[in-house]
Structure 1
Amino acid sequence: MKIGHLIRAERVRQDMKQIVLAKGICTPSYLSKIERNLIEPSEDIAELLFQRLGIDSGKLQKKDTKTEKEFKELLLSTYKLVITSRSVELTAEKLEYLERNSLLFENDSLYYTYLLITLRFRIILGKNFEEIRREIEALSDSVDSFDAYQNFLFLLNQVLYYYNSGKRKNSISYLEEIVEKLETIPLAEWEKAEFYYMFAIIYTAEENIYFAIDYIRKALDYFMETLQMNRVSECYIIIGVNRKLNEQFQEALEAYSKAMQICEEFHLDSQKGIIYHNIGTLNGIMGNSDQAIHYFEKSLSRKTLESVSENLGSIYCLIMEYSKLSNKEAVRKWTDEGLHILRKSNDERLLSFIHHFNFYKSLHSEQGLSEEIALDTIQYFKEIQEFKLIHKYCIALADWYHYNRKYKLASIYYREANKYGNIYRKIEKWEDL
């Protein structure tokens, strides 16, 4: 029986050492050969290994071309449905179905595809990131056995894992590796469009406007051609965000207006909240705080309770606008609301909001900014290498020190802010300014 890939994947997922799994069954070196499919164990040893790992041996399928083909078709059709629907509820439902009904194939290639697709679903759901890290680590040992499509799925999972973990530089390095190989990867047109859209989202977050616009237009062409008007609207929102980042404010407003027009024409009410949010950010940058607040509140009234990250984004923007207006009471009200939502959520991807809200709440408290909270916030963004936010909060802390006549500390953090501001702008020497 060819079961090494099954044994290794489950052992690593459970974070179990080879010596622990092998104890009383076989030697660790013998287990190592089994895991690399260099030898086929006896049925007795295989059953004992399965029992220790909690694997149901009744699901093991011998070579059966018909069954394998049917399962692969189910797997790939489910993958397309989940990715194109972009529904968290459907993702959870299909992941649970695949885990409950999956078969264990001696065909290691089919099993790798199953692992890569279910891993993608878990990343979408934001499930245990430490477990996801272990799964990626386990799969990395099998990369040499992957075909071109499996290698694409593996790289894509790493892109999403690092992006959702706040390590965007790592995420982009894997994205660029995919781009280099893109022409050699057998992708359907729908999958290319989804990849272009994802690429644009990540480059927008990095404020790399040229690449973001280039890739979102490629996605837009496909969605227009296939009349997926909800996706067309989303593309115009991304274009608007990038025009805003490039200080092309009128062009940004035109892109948001196109998105809203599509929503009105095709009754896409669920997207109106994110459009109002972006019009709010546009007004905020232009110095129209009252208008910005109006649109952020309008955005929140349109979003569902399930849109946790979107709701928190609008709340964060409201806090910033009220902070600009020095409205301490409103800042405290909205930071409390944001922290209340976070307490009910259990999503590791939302950790940055805790630091944002705690900083603003402390800054606008009766006692004034807590040095401990400020330093904790700065350290967090250093750990995830968010240079723009390090720059931002170092300035706020330096201003606070200066206001309280702690000039030496103020000087230290103004220099720190300057350092990370230059890193964020990719400036190495002052002469380049």
Structure 2
Amino acid sequence: MSIGHKVRYLRKKKQMKQEELSKGICSVSYLSKIENEILQPSDETMQLLLNRLGYIEETNALTRIQELLTKWNITLMKRDEKESKNLYHFFQEKDFINEGIHLEYRVLRIQYSLQQNMLAQVRKELMNLTEKIIDMPLKTRFYFFKHSAYYYYHVGKMGEAVTNIIEAQKFISFLELSTLELADFYYAFSFVNSKNNDTKTAVKYAEMALSSYQTIYMLTKCVDCHILLGICHKRNFHYDLAFEHYEAAHTLAKEIDYQEMLHPIIHNLSSLYSILGQHDEALGLLQELYSELSNFHSYTSARIVLSLVKEYCKEGRKSEAAQCLSKIYLAIQQDPSLKSLGSEYIFFDLMLGDQFEKLDREMEKTIIPELMKQNKYLTLSGFCDYLGEYHVEQSRYKKSSYYFQLGKELLVKSIQKNTGVKI
């Protein structure tokens, strides 16, 4: 609740007229402007009004709220779901008269909502807070842009995600941040840039994050950093380094019983085996992961299914591929967080159904534009090579030449994007 609205709420609750509240403090018209958010009163005027309303916000009470907000921020960064939820419910029952603290709470609530996958609520809050950015303390602004970047990643708008994380970076030199806060930002900066296929930047900041997390013994986040570095080195064709980081992540995750990341680690290892042509090893790992899945509505599960479908297709096992693909049909259609996987699903669905004429149309209409937008050049290059081979078999050489040429251009684009080397 804003300051002006709070004053009006408390006045009406006490059944006071504006004349009674303002007498000796300010004019009635001045009070009316405060209550209608037309002007911001001085701290002295505000305190006098609050005192008369019987709402004295003690300094130690404000300090306590600030301490709890800081604690909530730490629990969110550490992914302590139980304590985060307790603090969320605690703050829901509080009235905030201090606007700066209220804004800090609302921005932290965005981070909490993101972790709970409440994307519609986050979108609404971001829209409501945009006009309040100028009123935010610098640190609150920093977190606003950082959390905005994560939101835009979740809804597949990578351009906006990068813009917001760069905006957050501008505040770093003006703030006194803890090692945990810096590490969390370095990881966020690396993560967003990796999703935008800027792996050079992603590697730099992931290494900075890993070093910072190691100094404060945040072992779960060290696992996350090793995974991210493995992904980036794989994209840069540094397969030895990729294996090194995946193995480090796997070993550490088992040591600390970090169960939720074991599947993503094994999934990434399978991807590396597939790239190196070791399809039996890749297929074995993916089949093991698939057999353990119970929820097909998460991004990780959908990603595992698509990878298994791809490996089955390479082995010519189309019926098994189609059966797997059907498991994520509803999730892809209904879950906004899986929107970025829609084009890959459409490709496999049409290909497995032998609907190649429709697939050609969808490539031009949807798949190529969408995967280009997501910078998934390597994935798209593989699709083009597959279609090129198909059209050769059908003696459609002009069409096959188009796909082979496009696949080659995309592969070059992927190398240039990930390594910065011009070819």
TM-score (norm 1): 0.75
**Deviations 1:155-183 (Å, cap 9, x if unpaired)?**
11221121112111221222223333312
Distance 2:211 2:94 in 1: 36
Instruction: Return 252-261 or 283-292, whichever deviates more.
Output: 252-261
Kindly tell me: are residues 217 and 382 of structure 1, through their superposed partners in 2, closer, same or farther at Cα, counting changes over 3 Å?
closer
Q: Give 3-state SS (helix, strand or coil) of 1:118's partner.
A: helix
Q: Which runs of 4+ in 1 moved over 6 A?
A: 30-33, 405-423
Partner of 2:348: 360
**Deviations 1:251-289 (Å, cap 9, x if unpaired)?**
322222222222343444443322211110110110111
**Deviations 1:354-396 (Å, cap 9, x if unpaired)?**
4322320210114446346545642771695445256665666
Distance 1:81 1:122 in 2: 14
Kindly tell me: are residues 272 and 119 of structure 1, through their superposed partners in 2, closer, same or farther at Cα, counting changes over 3 Å?
closer
Gaps of 5+ in 2: 8-31, 43-53
**What amino acid is aligned across from residue 174 of structure 1 in structure 2?**
N
Identity, in percent, stands at: 19
Alpha-carbon offset, residue 222 of structure 1: 2.7
The alignment status of 1:288 with 2:284, answered yes or no, reads no
Kindly tell me: are residues 36 and 168 of structure 1, through their superposed partners in 2, closer, same or farther at Cα, counting changes over 3 Å?
farther
Instruction: Return 66-75 or 147-156, whichever deviates more.
Output: 66-75
Kindly tell me: are residues 330 and 280 of structure 1, through their superposed partners in 2, closer, same or farther at Cα, counting changes over 3 Å?
same
On the 8 A contact 1:272/1:302 being kept in 2, the answer is no
Partner of 2:95: 103
Distance 1:61 1:349 in 2: 44
TM-score (norm 2): 0.76
Partner of 1:162: 152
Instruction: Return 276-285 or 115-124, whichever deviates more.
Output: 115-124
User: Cα RMSD between the aligned structures?
Assistant: 3.7
Distance 1:253 1:216 in 2: 16
On the 8 A contact 1:270/1:303 being kept in 2, the answer is no
Partner of 1:258: 248
What is the correspondence of 1:26-425 to structure 2 with a 5 Å cutoff? 34-38=36-40, 63-85=57-79, 87=81, 94-99=87-92, 101-105=93-97, 107-129=98-120, 131-301=121-291, 305=295, 308-339=298-329, 342=332, 347-368=335-356, 370-371=358-359, 373-375=362-364, 377-378=366-367, 381=370, 384-386=373-375, 388=377
Instruction: Return 30-39 or 289-298, whichever deviates more.
Output: 30-39
**What amino acid is aligned across from residue 370 of structure 1 in structure 2?**
K
On the 8 A contact 1:402/1:410 being kept in 2, the answer is yes
Q: Give 3-state SS (helix, strand or coil) of 2:183's partner.
A: helix
**What amino acid is aligned across from residue 237 of structure 2 in structure 1?**
E
Kindly tell me: are residues 222 and 116 of structure 1, through their superposed partners in 2, closer, same or farther at Cα, counting changes over 3 Å?
same
Kindly tell me: are residues 244 and 2 of structure 1, through their superposed partners in 2, closer, same or farther at Cα, counting changes over 3 Å?
closer
Distance 1:418 1:236 in 2: 30
Gaps of 5+ in 1: 8-29, 41-59
On the 8 A contact 1:275/1:299 being kept in 2, the answer is no
Distance 2:337 2:114 in 1: 11
On the 8 A contact 2:227/2:246 being kept in 1, the answer is yes
Kindly tell me: are residues 92 and 387 of structure 1, through their superposed partners in 2, closer, same or farther at Cα, counting changes over 3 Å?
same
Alpha-carbon offset, residue 230 of structure 1: 2.5
Distance 1:218 1:207 in 2: 18
Kindly tell me: are residues 206 and 84 of structure 1, through their superposed partners in 2, closer, same or farther at Cα, counting changes over 3 Å?
same
Partner of 1:3: 3
Distance 2:416 2:128 in 1: 35
Distance 2:73 2:295 in 1: 26
Distance 2:275 2:407 in 1: 21
